Amino acid sequence: MVEPKTCPKCDAWKSVELADLNDPHIKVGILKVLAENGIHTMGHLADWQAAKGDFWAKDLKGVGKAACDSISDATDAYWASNPRPVEDVPFAPAAEPSIAACDGSCGWHELSDEVQDLLDDDRYEFANDTLIGVSDWINENEHCTEAQKRAVANVRKSAENR
Q: Is the peptide bond before 24 cis (omega within 30 degrees of 0)?
A: yes
Looking at 33, 54, 81, which one is the last position of a domain? 81
The H helix count followed by the E strand count for the chain is: 6, 0
Residue 6 lies in a domain: no
Q: How far is the CA of 97 from the CAs of 3, 12, 16, 106, 109, in angstroms?
A: 28, 18, 21, 20, 22
Residue 35 contacts residue 25 (beta carbons within 8 Å): no
68 and 92 housed in the same domain = no
Distance CA 74, CA 57 (A): 16
111 and 130 housed in the same domain = yes
19 and 63 housed in the same domain = yes
Closest CA to 24 of 85, 57, 84, 66: 66
Q: Tell me the pLDDT tens digit for each residue of 92-110.
A: 343 333 455 677 788 899 9
Residue 37 contacts residue 48 (beta carbons within 8 Å): yes
Closest CA to 105 of 7, 12, 10: 7
41 and 60 housed in the same domain = yes
65 and 118 housed in the same domain = no
Residue 17: strand pairing partners: 41
39 and 65 housed in the same domain = yes
Distance CA 104, CA 157 (A): 25
Please count the structural domains in the chain: 2
Q: Please, what are the averages of pLDDT over each run of 10 residues along the chain (162 residues)?
A: 50 88 92 94 91 86 89 88 53 42 82 93 87 89 87 84 64
What's the pLDDT at 12?
A: 78
61 and 113 housed in the same domain = no
70 and 103 housed in the same domain = no
3-state secondary structure of 17: strand
Range of the structural domain that residue 121 is part of: 86-162
Q: Residue 2, Cα to own-chain centre: how many angstroms?
A: 19
Q: How far is the CA of 5 from the CAs of 9, 58, 61, 65, 88, in angstroms?
A: 12, 31, 34, 35, 23
112 and 130 housed in the same domain = yes
93 and 108 housed in the same domain = yes
Looking at 81, 115, 141, which one is the last position of a domain? 81
What's the pLDDT at 10?
A: 64
What's the pLDDT at 154?
A: 86
Q: Residue 24, Cα to own-chain centre: how many angstroms?
A: 21
Looking at 81, 116, 132, which one is the last position of a domain? 81
Residue 112: strand pairing partners: none
Residue 2 lies in a domain: no
74 and 99 housed in the same domain = no
107 and 125 housed in the same domain = yes
Residue 76 lies in a domain: yes
